[in-house]
Amino acid sequence: MLLEIKELTVEFTSMQDKIKALKNVSISINQGEIVGIVGESGSGKSVTALTILGLLEKNASIPAGSITYKGRNILTLDKKELQALRGKEIGMVFQEPMTALHPTMRIGDQLAEVIHRHRRISYREAYQQAVISLAEVQINDPELVARKYPFELSGGMRQRVVIALAMSAPPDLLIADEPTTALDVTIQHEILKLMQDLAAKRGTSIMLITHDLGVVAEVCQRVVVMYAGEVVETGTTEEVLHRPNHPYTKALIGALPDLAVPGQALSAIPGESPDLRNRPRGCVFASRCADSLPICVEESPVLEQAYNGVHTHQVACWRREAE
Amino acid sequence: MSGMTANTESISKVATTKPVNPFWYKIRRNPLTLFGLFLLLLILLASIFAPLISSYDPTKINITQRFAPPSGDHWFGTDEVGRDIFTRILYGARLSLGVGVAVVFGAGLIGTVIGAISGYFGGKLDQIIMRLMDIVLAFPSLVLAMAVAATLGPNLQNAMLAIAIIKIPVYVRLARAETLALREKLFVKAAVTFGIKPWRIIARHIIPNALSPVVIQVTLDIGDAILLVATLGFLGLGAQPPTPEWGAMISIGWKYLLDYWWYPTFPGLALFLASCGFNLIGDGIRDILDPKANR
Amino acid sequence: MNPLLQVAGIGKEYRKGSQSFHAVSGVDFSIARGETFGLIGESGSGKSTIGKMITGLEHPTSGSLLYDGTPLWTDNKFNRLKPGEMQIVFQDPQSSLDPRMRVQSIIMEPLQALPAAERKAKGTTEKLHALITRVGLKVEHLNRFPHEFSGGQRQRIAIARALITDPAFVVLDEPTSALDVSVQAHVLNLLQELKRERNLTYLFISHNMSVIRYMCDRMAVMQKGRIVETGTVADIFNNPKDAYTQTLLSSLPSLHAKKVDNECSTEQSLEKSASKSS
């Protein structure tokens, strides 16, 4: 196992309020695997990524849990060790490529600098490597693009550059937070394909954070569904998307217009996400759930095997179908 | 490493799920602002309750008591005609604070309206207004104020007018810059699609939303305006004797500095504390309303 | 029957010095009364510019726009034939509501453009209360400020604001693109219901194929300022003729992408759901 998050809890203190952004989150990623973390805003999917990267702000605290990367607990590393881990071992790609690029530095130089630092080769060699890595992210005419500035490129091209940058070390784990959300669908398709190919070629694991179940279906082997800072369901993409067990996952799929019949109402989830300052005592989804039981508001369910015999598929629900 | 900025941004969004932003919570955590507030409150209360604090008349001449040094009777001593300096400073505070606040608020209001109109309509009107403002800004402010005050005649009203004139362009520019950004906001565009008249859009949407930077500038400028009033007073272009005005007091008092140090020192100190107080508050308000400007 | 909105050879050219850029060129389509017409395209396709030209934010540089038979633009002047007849809902409810206004003033704002008598008739407290509850908010919400609401609630406020004048035609410019999936479902349902109740005609602008498929009767696919294909939604999804439309459809990430792989996934899922419902 490459990365194992165990019962992680993260809290933010904002003035007088304490916000529990993550509660008992357990996620594991194997070597070479693409795992989708899917959830809506406030589900804690981005906080999970930032915790792994050690990039939480000062007002955050981690009262419980561990994150083991290659046998080391990341949460106990100091700043320097984390810095070394980021970029070299763990690459990052974010939604807005412009934020990851130096605005007044040529693309080739940005890449060469990082390669030069990570691989301990001369700058000249690093620059040649940079051009090769641009070709690897399917940029036509990499020499020309290497001489350009970020603002001269389209959004899709920029994201390719960021992927080249993130993969330059090359890392063992790539964390991609909504990498295609700001892009057009046709480009999104290409970028996802590119990430998938690169990961397969180099054996890189990808943690793909997204709100889009379609994206998950397209590239992920496994998926973790998060809701209000908790993992509610996890399993292979096939299992979770085609045989969802948790009412939230079912509702989320049902709310998509993709499969809906025009003229018929979409099955929308009633109510709003719970207030993370005052977490409900029982299941976080109970108040919006159509089939909640008395126990649902009393006690939180834990992740357990969903459907007998499928050990990869787990769900946190009192109504878990163990047929 | 690249990507760091992205992280801090997204995390701050996560951390403050709801923007709780109590003004007092932030003020309390900023000791300098608190100190400025304390200073001003002190000066303000002292000037309001001046008749209760001091039993002297600020303008009554008492030749027998001239140049009395600070003592239990006269805390800050007396001046060349025996008036109590402490009392004159208290009454002078009314004038200085009142004039400073009035001038800057007036300039802020007029400047904001002109700037919003200029920015919203753009085109030729904008060109003309901005060139006019550039002309005003091209002169050193004190020189221009002196010229205006001298031309109109040396009295307090004209000094106020002069200061307002040199302050207006700053607000015009500020409000115009904000307006240009606001004009692109969807709520302004929405109002346009509804068919709302431009003047109404300016009054309802542009000015209220452009006010934050103006308020910051106003608090920062009051201290400056108080100094300017005093400067004009010092140069004999402002309030005329026997009005208790800090600048005028310093102007006469500085001649006696070597023999009767208290005469110019205390009005000077009052001036320093008042402008200091406003600047500290201005900084504090800027930090709260516009946290980005701090970095 | 005459179309409610007729777009004929419309174009928008931006000039900067000697350079010119055609954001929209030669676009034709018409929307019948009671129809939902979808305009789909990627960023820079010119779809939003068309919405702006219809609502009076940008003037066309060529062609004509007829609303109910009357031209909307004469030269660079927008003819607001009947204020409040046509409204728009924008993508980002974060910036489309004035942060310094209370919900009540926000919703009532479009009435300011109406003649006094009409303003009074449409702006009664009962009507306002009925409208706010209709869009799924509460009467006590009227006193609050936009920042106190979630994205979905803000979009409901924007919808209420668009409906206060009883419009006949509403431009929906990516109304759910900034919202979570579960919130999007609520808003789309609301828009469908309101359309039925109030006999509205929609122009639905979006980059999302599934949303367009679900919401619209007819649609036009835009690329680089031009329409590449127009037709009924069923026709375009089942039998896309233009190469670009085909690319768009095949890049659409679908829940069944893995299973169906190279086949046209949407077509299959359409059939599947159709058979399920029957």
In this predicted model, what pLDDT tens digit does every residue of A226-262 receive, in sequence order? 999 999 999 999 999 988 999 999 999 989 888 788 8
Residue C233 lies in a domain: yes
> Could you tell me if residue A203 is left (phi over 0), alpha (psi between -120 and 50 degrees) or otherwise beta?
left
Domains annotated on chain B, with CATH:
86-294 (1.10.3720.10)
Cβ of C182 within 8 Å of Cβ of A251? The answer is yes
State in Å, rounded, how far the first CA of chain A is from the last one.
Answer: 30
Report the gap between the CA of A45 and the closest CA in chain C (Å): 14
Cβ of A12 within 8 Å of Cβ of B9? The answer is no
| pLDDT at res. A44 | 92
Q: Which of C155, C228, C258 should we substitute to test contact with A (largest number of A Cβ atoms within 10 Å)?
A: C258
Cβ of C97 within 8 Å of Cβ of B209? The answer is no
Residue A306 lies in a domain: yes
Range of the domain at A287: 229-323
Q: Closest chain C residue to B211 measured between Cα atoms? A: C100
> What number of H helices and E strands is found in chain C?
11, 12
Residue A27 lies in a domain: no
The number of folded domains in chain A is: 1
Task: Kindly report the number of other CB atoms within 10 A of residue C209's CB atom.
Answer: 25
Q: Decide if C161 touches B, using CB distance below 8 A.
A: yes
> The whole model's pTM is what?
0.84
Instruction: Say if CB B278 and CB B36 are below 8 A apart.
Output: yes
Q: Decide if A228 touches C, using CB distance below 8 A.
A: no
Question: From the list A186, A214, A268, which residue is nearest C185 (CB)?
Answer: A268
Euclidean distance between CA atoms C201 and A202, whole angstroms: 53
The sign of the torsion formed by the CA atoms of A89, A94, A96, A97 equals positive
Residue A266 lies in a domain: yes
Q: Decide if A208 touches C, using CB distance below 8 A.
A: no
Task: Kindly report the number of other CB atoms within 10 A of residue B288's CB atom.
Answer: 18
Residue C160 lies in a domain: no
The number of folded domains in chain C is: 1
* pLDDT lower than 50: segments of chain B: 1-20, 294-295
Pull the structure tokens for residue A215. 């994206």
Residue A63 lies in a domain: no
C87 has which bridge partners? C170
State in Å, rounded, how far the first CA of chain B is from the last one.
Answer: 20
Residue C155 lies in a domain: no
State in Å, rounded, how far the first CA of chain C is from the last one.
Answer: 32
| pLDDT at res. B291 | 57
Residue A294 lies in a domain: yes
Which ipTM was obtained for this model?
0.85
| pLDDT at res. A186 | 85
Residue A220 lies in a domain: no
C6 has which bridge partners? C30, C66
Using alpha carbons only, give the angle B33, B35, B38 rounded to the nearest 5 degrees. 110
Place of tokens 């007073």: B233
| pLDDT at res. A84 | 85
| pLDDT at res. B286 | 79
CATH number assigned to the domain comprising residue C264: 3.40.50.300
Range of the domain at C28: 1-85+201-278
Residue C104 lies in a domain: no
Residue C254 lies in a domain: yes
Instruction: Say if CB B175 and CB B107 are below 8 A apart.
Output: no
| pLDDT at res. A41 | 87
> Hey, which residues 172-191 in chain B have their CB within 8 Å of chain C?
185-187, 189-191
Least confident range from A239-253, B230-244, C15-29, C213-227: namely B230-244
Q: Decide if A297 touches B, using CB distance below 8 A.
A: no
Least confident range from B49-58, C15-24, C43-52, C77-86: namely B49-58
- Residue C82 confidence class, pLDDT cut points 50, 70, 90: confident
Cis peptide bond N-terminal to A170, omega within 30 = yes
